[in-house]
Structure 1
Amino acid sequence: MSSNPPSRELDRVDRQLLSLLQADGRLTVAELARTVNLTLTPCIERVRRLEREGFIDGYYAHLNSKRLGQSMLAFTEVTLDHATQDVFQRFKEAVQLVEEIVECHMVAGGFDYLIKTRVQDMDEYRRVLGDKIVNVRGVRHTQTYFVLEEVKSTHAVRVRVSDAGRAGAAAPKRRRARS
């Protein structure tokens, strides 16, 4: 994942491609080309350039956590005992090894990290918290919030329209078929 800002402006076609692929990463190059009004070769070249330049980090399948028996979602605030580089590094390394943790963010404010965890049930969460989170040397305090209802959950990143600075839709408008 690149944290560098884009090195060049994306044009309308690049943005359309990003929106289309974000909505459905399984679209064929032929479908992409047809939708953005390009021939196959320039479409393939643009997608490869977007990948190479880091605008596309990868492709994945969005799995149904409930069907996989991981319906409990929890957010945990973690406060470390010292704000030193070695304590932060130790915590980051430990988090990478916990597969139940699906996101971890260092934050500014009253605590140091916010962790998003997906597990089967409360028993599994207690094991993860007790065995894998609070046992990390340097963790001083945790506070957990359990999700009662997921109102919105998406991986989509808003793609901005460059010429007017307006937010773009998740996918470009499709032309209506003529009758």
Structure 2
Amino acid sequence: MTMISRSADLNHPDAFEIDNVDRQILVLLQQDARMSITDIAEAVHLSATPCARRIKRLEQSGIITGYHTEVNPQKLGYSLAIYIAVSMDRHTAERFAQFEDKIQSFDEVVSCSIVTGRSEDYLLKVVVRDMAHYEEFLLHRLNRIEGVSQVHTSFELREVFNRGIIS
């Protein structure tokens, strides 16, 4: 069986080899995480036991990190999506760790990334009900995190697509 590496550098400690069947399994699970082992096995032309073993191996390797339900924030009353670029006053491991611990406690923050190529340190994606909710979030929570020195806000007009599938 020919193995195809997901990483170009197999000497990298996080590299893990997967083949085309593993890729097919990943695509199927990303499309429908509730798909049964039997249906997945049939789709990739395996029997259920080897298919289940492959899924378990993908989980144990850290390639599959979890299963989740995708929801529509607007249907839940969160009509505004906002990108917030955050600058920190000091670039120390302790300051960043403190910010990251605190930001995870805010339900409105759906993603947080450290970024390069701009003057800000973090890029957050936040969902809120309305402008009053955003104002409360910004003034009474985000700006009160020790070390936050500046924020720049961009409102999402419309999400064109969110692929969410990696193969």
State the TM-score, normalized to the length of structure 2.
Answer: 0.88
Q: Secondary structure at the match of 1:104?
A: strand
- Matched with 2:91 is 83
Counterpart residue identity of residue 131, structure 2: M
Q: CA deviation at 1:152?
A: 1.4
Could you say which residue in structure 1 is the equivalent of 2:64? 56
Distance 1:124 1:88 in 2: 25
Structure 1 or 2: larger helix share?
Answer: 2
User: Which residue is 1:132 aligned to?
Assistant: 141
CA distance in 1, matches of 2:163, 2:79: 16
Q: Percent identity?
A: 36
The alignment's C-alpha RMSD in Å is 1.4
Q: CA deviation at 1:149?
A: 1.2
Residues 115-130 of structure 1 mapped to structure 2, 5 A cutoff: 115-130=124-139
Distance 1:41 1:89 in 2: 42
The number of equivalent residue pairs is: 155
Residue 5 of structure 1: CA displacement? 2.3
Q: Partners of 2:20 and 2:162 in 1: how far apart?
A: 27
* Structure 2: gaps (5+ residues): 1-12
Residue 169 of structure 1 corresponds to none
Deviation digits for residues 129-172 of structure 1 (CA, Å, limit 9, x no counterpart): 11111111111111101111111123222x1xxxxxxxxxxxxx
Residue 19 (structure 1) shift: 0.9
How far apart are the structure 2 equivalents of 1:132 and 1:156?
Answer: 33
Question: Equivalent residue for 2:6?
Answer: none
Larger RCO of the pair (alpha carbons < 8 Å, separation 6+) = 1
Partners of 1:154 and 1:12 in 2: CA distance: 20
**Partner residue in 1 for 2:156:** 147
Tell me, in whole angstroms, the C-alpha distance in 1 between the residues paired with 2:59 and 2:28.
14
Q: Aligned residue for 2:113?
A: 105
For 1:164, the equivalent position in structure 2 comes to: none
Listed one character per residue, the Cα deviations across residues 1-24 of structure 1 (whole Å, up to 9, x for unaligned) are xxx5233x2111111111111111
